[in-house]
Structure 1
Amino acid sequence: MVIKKQKLEKGNIMKFAHLSDTHLGYRQFGLNEREKDFYEVFELIIDKIIEENVDFVIHSGDLFETARPSPNALLTFQKGLLRLKGAGIPMFSIAGNHDSVMRKEAIPPQVLFKKWGLKVISPINTNYMFDDVFIAGLPYYPSSQSKNLKNKLAELSQKAANHEKSILVLHQGIDKYLSFQYELEIGDIPDNFDYYAFGHLHKYIEDDFGKGKLVYPGSIDIWRTNELPDYKKNGKGFVVVDLDGPKPAVKRVVVESPRAFIDKTISYDNLEDELRNIKSTINDFDKKPIISLNITNIDIDTTDVYEIIKKELGDYALMIRPKFQLIDEEVEELINKDTSLGPKELLVEGLKEFDDESISRLAIDLYDSLSKDDNEGSEKIISDYYDNHFAIEEEKDTQTTLEEGSQ
């Protein structure tokens, strides 16, 4: 902290780094190489943060892929945190949905690093001060607890009103940026903070909100292949925020993914030529790429097509993910429907048939919890739902009784 005070006395601008969704320990496609890629890009980001000479760092959730991180994931973060500490740069962090256990009194893995200087923002310690900057936030809240979340946000807003500069740190989805599965509507967010350090969305979003800026820095690497369009447009990385002036200035810092992702649509008519073209570009990469192929106009057995792809590219790619579209339009439509959406998206599509939004929210929250093998968290979600459901029904019955008694 002495370094920070000396820097400020010299008139340096107060600035900080904001990153999120590092998902340390994530093993994409079950590949050990992809787990190492996430560690590598995290280390590069720590390098960049130190180069930027920031005053502090904010991590807005999903530091780890699970609430029980592997030793390698824990060690990678510890090394990064100690490097920041050695540079005099403290870190503030909240738990996201991936590194949370949704049960009463459960603690996230972030608390393991408090003795190394990590400032954990929690329901118990909701806010800190860094010099004159008020830093407040909350860990991830599922939609079943949105009422509680909104009440706590109102409390933080009242506290922020007493400070000239303030930052709100959350790991939540917002209806403005998500068409489904959000926990907050944009109007639920207090408008008196200078900077809104959000996490949860893996794409980059920078928006004006209230008197300040609302930013999702996105994930640090490609967590799912549907992130490729945003990656090509905005890259992956973090942001550096300058708090000087009436509104924060946000600078995007891009860190290249350690591994290339190739995503191409190819007609079967030109299959072999296109595969050779892809192979000729692979020599430019340091690591074997992930290749996603959408093969159209197929009029033969897809097994034969796969064998052609494997023969041409099998030794040059870490993984090949083909998707086939047959000439038969009915078959093509079926394949597209089944493969263009992941399991979660298919669940959401199916739930659109139900008019009861609470049932849909329950199903999605349970899917998220069970996907992490969090049985205790799932039980808590179900318990909260039924407690709320029966409370509403009891209130209706009471109202009916009162109305009947008044007649």
Structure 2
Amino acid sequence: MSLRFIHTADIHLGKTYRHGGCEVARSEDFFTCLAGIVNDALVEEVNFVLIAGDLFHTGQILPRTFARTIEILQPLKEAGIPCVAVEGNHDWIHRRDSISWMEALSQMGYIRLLRPTRTAEGGYLFEPFDEEQGCGGHLVVGDLNIYGLGYIGAQAGNHVPRICEAVTTENNLLLFHVGIWTFSPVEIGNMKPEEALPLADRFGYVALGHGHKPYLVETPEGRPYGFNPGSPERVNFGEQRYDKGYYLVTVENGYFHHTFRSTDPRPMHAVTIDLDGTSDAETALENVHRQLREALDTGQDERRPLVALKLVGRVAFHPFELGRERLFTVLEEVCRPLHAEIRNHLSLVTRSSDSASAKKSLADIEKEVLHELVGANSQYKDRQDELVALSLSIRDLVLKGEVSDDELLGILARDANIDKK
């Protein structure tokens, strides 16, 4: 029989920036994106929808995020279109005595969460999905067998033989939150192409997630078998380079025919401004303004963009003179960004009798100051490098709005051996 389905991944509901007044608008971007995919599923009258992990940005979501998710998935439930999902690394909760939000959605019938069980010998059991309990590792739609397992970490390649041994049916699809080296843009949670290749013999379609860039994985003969649609919304800076969308797939006589459907993510720009040779801060600001206008093509999109601004070059004034407030003022004049991140990598050129010139970057100055402050306490003298690196990492996370207060305390307790107060 002929089947049609949508394959998406890495939705990251709940992702936002917790400062700058853009929390609601940025969070809504991801809900809007999922709502568009749900609407397409209804219009195309697909048989099911696949979500290959990371439906949520974090395992501990806000109740309003959960309520909004239910609201968006409700039309699929009413239309009788199964939404089949697995957990990604972002969906995990670390307290296994508690029910996860993904498990709650499955028990309520909004998704079919696939998760296999394990044998005493370490093998996999893909038990039939139980609609009443909302759990299982295998379900059948039409004549297609759908198997699923979520994120299993950096050793995923070692699990492939056991996954294949556990599947004895024909006409199979695997939903798997894992990346493939040489294709995936992320550095962890991948397996080698040669490790993944046995999956091609057992599954006609391996629905991947994890990396936010779309790509296909082929057999040596050139047959596509692994499909990663990437994230449909831009999650992190750098993703402005990738196409954004999902796969619409038709299955006929055991063959999978895929089409990439583009989505409409919020505009994102990463701009590097070269200020090399600039003599004073006022001239530098004028150059920033001019280069930003030349680099940013806002087009007809009325949505406020996300902007990453990086300043580079050797200048004859102190880099601190280009403070964040002054740079934000320029950004506001040029493009009114919803959110902006600024990296000042300017180098200060100084003159001395011993050398023609020497340079010291703002990053070097920050490290030196922190090094002195930490070293002023004899208790931390042997840990200066470690604590300076930790301080700068926390600073970057806070500026990005990526972590909550509890998560910051967890980082301190884990990486700096500082007890929570």
- TM-score (normalised: structure 2): 0.67
How far has the Cα of 1:106 moved from its partner? 5.7
2:192 matches 1:185: yes
Superposed CA deviations along residues 68-90 of structure 1, whole A, max 9, x for unmatched, are: 22122212221222111223311
Give CA-to-partner distance per residue, 1:31-68, whole Å, 9 cap, x none. 41211211122212212222222111111111111222
Other-structure match for 1:66: 58
Is the CA contact (8 Å cut-off) linking 1:121 and 1:136 kept in structure 2? yes
Q: Secondary structure at the match of 1:243?
A: strand
> In structure 1, what is the Cα distance between the partners aligned to 2:250 and 2:160?
28
Q: Matched residues in 1 for 2:155 and 2:98: separation?
A: 17
Counterpart position of 1:237: 245
- Mean alpha-carbon deviation: is it higher for 104-113 or for 30-39? 104-113
The residue number in structure 1 matching 2:126 is none
2:346 counterpart (326, 332, 337): 326
Query: 2: CA distance between counterparts of 1:45 and 1:167?
Result: 21
- 2:239 corresponds to: 227
Partner residue in 1 for 2:205: 195
Alignment of 1:164-179 (within 5 A): 165-178=171-184
In the other structure, the counterpart of 1:341 is none
Query: What's the CA shift string for 1:161-220, capped at 9, x where partnerless?
Result: x32x21011112333434842343333332221101011111111232486521111112
Task: Say if 1:373 and 1:242 are closer, same or farther in 2 by CA, change over 3 A.
Answer: farther
CA separation of 1:187/1:313 partners in 2, compared to 1, >3 Å: closer, same or farther?
Answer: closer
Distance 1:103 1:144, change over 3 A: farther
Match of 1:291?
307
Match of 1:272 in 2: 289
8 Å Cα contact 1:45/1:237 also seen in 2: no
Question: Aligned partners of 1:136, 1:271: CA distance in 2, in Å?
Answer: 52
Describe the shift of the 1:75–1:15 C-alpha distance in structure 2 as closer, same or farther (beyond 3 A): same
Q: 1:253 aligns with which of 251, 261, 273?
A: 261
Amino acid at match of 2:195: D
Aligned partners of 1:242, 1:299: CA distance in 2, in Å? 61
Greater shift in the superposed pair: 167-176 or 204-213? 204-213
Aligned to 1:134, the other structure's residue is in SS state strand
- Where 1:42 maps in the other structure, the secondary structure is helix
Aligned to 1:78: 70
* Structure with the larger helix share: 1
Residue 90 (1) aligns with residue 69 (2): no
Cα 1:220–1:331 change in 2 (3 A) is: farther
- Indicate conservation of the 8 Å contact 1:218/1:237, yes or no: yes
* Counterpart residue type for residue 319 of structure 2: T
| Between 293-302 and 102-111, the greater mean CA deviation after superposition | 102-111
CA deviations 1:307-349 (Å, max 9, x no partner) are 54333323622233222343558545967xx9xxxxxxxx9xx
User: What are the ranges of 5 or more consecutive residues in structure 1 without an aligned counterpart?
Assistant: 1-7, 339-346, 351-367, 380-407
Q: Say if 1:299 and 1:326, in contact at 8 Å, map to a contact too.
A: no
How far apart, in 1, do the equivalents of 2:160 and 2:37 lie? 33
Secondary structure at 2:102's aligned position in 1?
Answer: helix
The alignment covers a number of residue pairs equal to 325
2:319 maps to 302
Cα distance change of structure 1 residues 61 and 372 upon mapping to structure 2, 3 Å threshold: farther
Taking structure 1 as reference, are residues 145 and 173 closer, same or farther at Cα in structure 2, changes over 3 Å only? closer
Equivalent pair of 1:39/1:73 in contact (CA under 8 Å): no
User: Is residue 2:116 matched to residue 1:123?
Assistant: yes
Larger RCO, structure (CA 8 Å, separation 6 or more): 1
C-alpha distance in structure 1 between counterparts of 2:289 and 2:17, whole Å: 28
SS at match of 2:259: strand
The one of 265, 269, 272 equivalent to 1:262 is 269
Conservation of the 8 A alpha-carbon contact between 2:344 and 2:362 = no
Q: Residue type of the partner of 2:114?
A: I
Q: Distance in 2 between matches of 1:194 and 1:283?
A: 41
1:395 corresponding residue in structure 2: none
Q: Which residue of 1 aligns with 2:330?
A: 312
* Superposition deviation, residue 132 in structure 1: 0.5
Where structure 2 has 5 or more consecutive residues not aligned to the other structure, the ranges are 118-135, 279-286, 350-357, 368-385, 390-402, 415-421
How far apart in 2 are the matches of 1:103 and 1:143? 21
* Structure 2 counterpart of 1:208: 218
- In the alignment, the residues of structure 2 paired with residue 53 and residue 113 of structure 1 have an alpha-carbon distance, to the nearest angstrom, of 22
Task: Note if 1:25 corresponds to 2:14.
Answer: yes
Name the counterpart of 2:283. none
